[in-house]
Structure 1
Amino acid sequence: MIGIDLFAGAGGFTEGARLAGVHVAYAANHWPLAVSFHQANHPETRTDCQDVQQADWRQVPRHDVQLASPACQGHTPARGKERPYHDALRSTAWAVVSCAEYHRSEAVVVENVPAFLNWTLYPAWEDAMRRLGYAVAPHLIDAADHGVPQHRERLFLVCTRSRSPLQLALPKRPHRPIADVIEWDAHAWSPIERPGRSEATLRRIAAGRAVFGERFVAPYYSNGSGLTGRSIDRPIGTITTCDRWAVIDGDRMRMLQVSEAKAAMGFRSDYVLPSAKKPAMHMLGNAVPPIVAADVLEALRAAA
């Protein structure tokens, strides 16, 4: 099976395809840094740095499955109120239709946030895919159900050239705790009680300690997991593009590190990412967990 990866980022979908035995012949993304790391991790894939909406589909290899993760920022409630640029971000989903119209691949798999289904133009988008001969089957998938130590619910639209929508028989694995990937004896820690620490943070840590004991994780820069954080004996909440999760260990704390976030996303330990933390976390927060992508593709192949 041959695939292409649109809006590829650093390559989570491509990595998952590799695990499933799918050769990704082509990948495209507009961010030069992400493209460079996609190339480093997947040298066998031809990678273009460009706005996918401007792609010349004649230059894209023939393929069996199109993989695509169009921009989610215009859909996700995590971004807060509507902003003018969201229309431009939402419109990236039409590149999926454009590619499918030209290539008519046997399958198209689109990953996005569940709120993609609430997009005002989603019915028109789905109708366009149907008019191209695709049956569209929405699947809501939590990465934690696939052995990733993170609750990350995403929408996967499985579009196939079949008479009726294809409901995949996906495996369900035991949940893994985030404690499995926290590197307790590595990285720099700081005292919880120090000048400048916000009162809100101190209250959350005190409440978390009362519920979970000395070790737990908590959101540091944004909302989520209530006022107490969450137990390390369960999957962590969603890894986002901002560096938001703190690890608490007794009277010390630190932010979740790139190597831990990489493991929490289900990437292999030797997967290459930028040495600078901000772009590395951004790439991880935008990525598709590879094992989820692999499970979807393997189930798709089995159902075909």
Structure 2
Amino acid sequence: MPKFVDLFCGGGFGARGAVNGGGEPLLALDAWNIATETYKFNFPNAEVITDFIEKVDPFIYQDRIKPDVLLTSPECTSHSIAKGAKPGSEKSRETAIGIVPWVEAMQPRWVIVENVNRMKKWDRHNELVQTIENLNYTVSDLLLNSADFGSAQARKRMFLVCDRDGTMVTKDQLIKFGSQKRLSANDIIKWNGNYNSTLLYKSGRAKPTIERAERAIAKLGRKKPFIIVYYGSDYAGGWQSIDAPLRTITTVDRFGLVTWKGNTPYLRMLQPDELKKAMGGGDEHQLPHGNRREKVKLCGNGVCSEVMTAIFKWISSNQNKHVLNKV
């Protein structure tokens, strides 16, 4: 069973995937109290720290915390396409480099770094990879789509999978450890949920929302449900079919569900329980803390569980091989 330390742990979606893949959380850290409270609720046996990574000395834990895996998901807002043309904060980007002392202190066999794929354009990305390699790790630099691993969300992220024993891994190899199901947005929608929908064509509805909906109706025809997609760079008309994986969940409300009563369209936003399911949380992962906006943010900040499950299953298989070779 690979034991892990979870930096930038968020609400624990990555940890949920790791646990589903056979892992055990020892220690977790995040600066947001809602995230750490959520993590502690879901993984009560883990030690959880609420603080900024640069304020915590990892060497005070090195004698009693012995992880096999260091799981990290540094702040991604400075790299994300959701920022549009705004310049990124170098201080925010430095959080990625901030994992290095933890690698040095913990000496795990594996290090996993997850971030948005635009991080590759960051001028210190190669420096981070080189630094990890200089610590005697072999780095597999991968771009993974959660939909390929059985997720109902198409979330493309960069993963650095680093092994101190020199094992490389490819995307295709990891996919074999994932679920072979192909899920869509339809699979996470609670059709019988008691959620408030309002008339699409109500007074005061924003014109861009109506335009997005009308483009979908023109394509699909009437009386067919679909999802309006807000925010971000959008070259798909501002909507998506419920038969495709949900597009990337962000830290703000992004998805409106259009349904029909007879020939009349209604609109509501997707709810945190639905977004949680699209992140791979399922029924077992709970969001007991925070208001609705904060729960949406927890989902948008998370790591898709299904991808981490596959990575930890791969890690477990290699850990078992390592033990057998020692016998």
Return the alpha-carbon distance in structure 1 between the equivalents of residues 84 and 234 of structure 2: 14
Q: SS state of the match for residue 140, structure 1?
A: strand
Partner residue of 2:187?
Answer: 180
Return the alpha-carbon distance in structure 2 between the equivalents of residues 82 and 158 of structure 1: 29
CA RMSD of aligned residues (A): 1.7
Superposed displacement of residue 275, structure 1: 5.3
2:110 is matched by which residue type in structure 1? A
Question: Alignment identity in percent?
Answer: 28
Return the alpha-carbon distance in structure 2 between the equivalents of residues 165 and 181 of structure 1: 34
Q: SS state of the match for residue 125, structure 1?
A: helix
Superposed displacement of residue 136, structure 1: 0.8
Q: Which moved more, 1:220-229 or 1:196-205?
A: 220-229
Return the alpha-carbon distance in structure 2 between the equivalents of residues 137 and 270 of structure 1: 31
Q: Which has the higher contact order (CA 8 A, sep 6+)?
A: 2
User: Among residues 239, 243, 246, which one is paired with 2:256 in the alignment?
Assistant: 246
Return the alpha-carbon distance in structure 2 between the equivalents of residues 21 and 164 of structure 1: 19
User: Among residues 192, 199, 203, which one is paired with 1:191 in the alignment?
Assistant: 199
1:294 is matched by which residue type in structure 2? T
Runs of 4+ with deviation above 4 angstroms: none
Q: SS state of the match for residue 165, structure 2?
A: coil
User: Among residues 105, 110, 128, which one is paired with 1:107 in the alignment?
Assistant: 110
1:135 is matched by which residue type in structure 2? T
Conserved 8 A contact 1:212-1:230: no
1:20 aligns with 2:21: yes
Mapping of residues 74-89 of structure 1, within 5 Å: 74-83=78-87, 86-89=89-92
Partner residue of 2:298?
Answer: 283
Aligned positions, number: 303
Partner residue of 1:211?
Answer: 219
Partner residue of 1:260?
Answer: 274
Distance 1:228 1:221, change over 3 A: closer
Conserved 8 A contact 2:34-2:290: no
User: Among residues 310, 315, 322, which one is paired with 1:295 in the alignment?
Assistant: 310
**Taking structure 2 as the reference length, what is the TM-score of the superposition?**
0.88
1:284 is matched by which residue type in structure 2? C
Structure 2: runs of 5+ lacking an equivalent: 320-327
Q: SS state of the match for residue 99, structure 2?
A: helix
Q: SS state of the match for residue 112, structure 1?
A: strand
Partner residue of 1:62?
Answer: 66
Return the alpha-carbon distance in structure 2 between the equivalents of residues 236 and 13 of structure 1: 18
Conserved 8 A contact 1:68-1:111: yes
1:264 is matched by which residue type in structure 2? A
Distance 1:194 1:221, change over 3 A: farther
1:75 is matched by which residue type in structure 2? H
Return the alpha-carbon distance in structure 2 between the equivalents of residues 8 and 70 of structure 1: 9
Return the alpha-carbon distance in structure 2 between the equivalents of residues 38 and 191 of structure 1: 37
User: Among residues 126, 140, 161, which one is paired with 1:137 in the alignment?
Assistant: 140
1:206 is matched by which residue type in structure 2? E
Distance 1:270 1:65, change over 3 A: closer
**Taking structure 1 as the reference length, what is the TM-score of the superposition?**
0.94
Conserved 8 A contact 2:13-2:279: no
